[in-house]
Amino acid sequence: MKHWLAWLLVLTTGDAVAQQIVPPDEIVIHVNSDVRNTEFVEPLVCELQKVVRAPVRAKKIELALTDDLRETRTQFSPRKIVGKFAAMTAGESEMARPFRYLILDHDLKVPDLNYVFAETYSRPFSVISVVRLAPTVEPHLAKRAAETITLPRVYKLMLKSVAIMAGLRSEGCVMMFPRSLPDLDAKPSDYCPEDRAALVGAKVIKETPSGSCSAVVASR
């Protein structure tokens, strides 16, 4: 497990332009079978396709959250989960540098915090929990809630994570660390100008976001 902790990224301020930023070949979002409402997934893929240059796709995964992956009685450790996730997805992409995401519907915790929405690693992988991001609503309101509430929250986490995996170190705008749900909702959903320029120059994101999406492959 120590080698996974060594890959954990520590955000530091600095000149984004001087950093070594390497774009992904593709972005793959693995939606675990425990996610109750997946209505946000297809529009999430669409919104990301508007901004990033790499192709984006989503697929289902069956990753069992066993007791050895727990951090507490009710919470799981993303640092333990990511090893199992990496093993399950090894060799599945034909691309040399895919960015892989695992979306779960269980609470996550790391040692120094009560909970985390997500954690990103430089290998590159990221584990995201929607349990605190998805409101509890009546079934007939689930689709609207997913698109208007859950989607913007996950989108912000994904934008930040893509930049971290690429090598950007920044703490401004969408790169800010949210310590609560109000923090996440309040922070911008875009990069600061200097960060944006660095990501555009490194071909991580488009200079001008697209107005529409290409064909979405979601939840397959």
Integer Cα distance of 141 and 54 in angstroms: 32
Sign, CA dihedral 78-79-82-87, equals negative
Integer Cα distance of 127 and 117 in angstroms: 9
Residue 136 has what pLDDT? 83
105-149 pLDDT tens trace: 999 999 999 999 999 998 899 999 999 999 888 888 888 899 899
Integer Cα distance of 85 and 183 in angstroms: 28
Residue 58 has what pLDDT? 97
- Band of pLDDT at residue 19, cut at 50, 70 and 90: confident
Return the residue matching tokens 């060799």: 91
Residue 18 has what pLDDT? 56
Integer Cα distance of 105 and 126 in angstroms: 14
Average pLDDT over residues 27-52: 96
Helices (H) and strands (E) in the chain, counts: 7, 5
Residue 214 has what pLDDT? 56
CATH 3.40.390.10 fits 2-7+24-201, yes or no: yes
Average pLDDT over residues 155-180: 97
Residue 109 has what pLDDT? 98
Residue 94 has what pLDDT? 87
26-32: strand order across its sheet? 56-61, 26-32, 98-104, 125-129, 118-121
Q: What is the largest CA-CA distance in the chain?
A: 49
How far is the first Cα of the chain from the last one, in angstroms, to the nearest whole number? 31
Where are the domains positioned within the chain? 2-7+24-201
- Band of pLDDT at residue 29, cut at 50, 70 and 90: very high
Q: What pTM was computed for the model? A: 0.87
193-210 pLDDT tens trace: 999 999 999 999 999 999
